Amino acid sequence: MEPQDNKKPKELCRVKKAVKALIMQRPDGMTYPEICNRLQQDSIFLGTYRNLLSLTSSVLGLLVDEGAIPCRGEGTPKVFSYAGHQSLN
């Protein structure tokens, strides 16, 4: 059995790849609620929906900071799109 600390980076990486893959499929971008709903529907995330919301928010913040996922708008209608210049890692 893996220690809890080792599972967190793996789950974060998995969700990060899944979010980027989802956004790449939608050229017009996706909102935060759309991303969370798709992750939950596709059974990509095994935790609770509340944990999914938190993890997805963190992942989106990282991707925006990295410049991989541009963001436009404010609040809930904020739209995330794929910059297209980086790999899925």
| Structural domain includes residue 2 | no
| Structural domain includes residue 21 | no
Rounded Cα–Cα distance for residues 51 and 65 (Å): 21
Give the residue numbers spanning the domain of 53: 28-89
| Structural domain includes residue 19 | no
| Structural domain includes residue 3 | no
> The pTM is what?
0.73
Number of structural domains (the chain) is 1
CA angle 74-9-58, nearest 5°?
10
Would you write out the chain's pLDDT as a tens digit for each of its 89 residues? 445 555 667 777 888 888 899 999 998 899 988 998 888 887 666 667 787 788 888 899 999 998 889 998 887 689 999 876 444 44
CA–centroid distance for 33 within its chain: 11
Rounded Cα–Cα distance for residues 64 and 57 (Å): 11
| Structural domain includes residue 5 | no
| Structural domain includes residue 39 | yes
- Provide the pairing of β-strand 71-72 with 30-31: unpaired
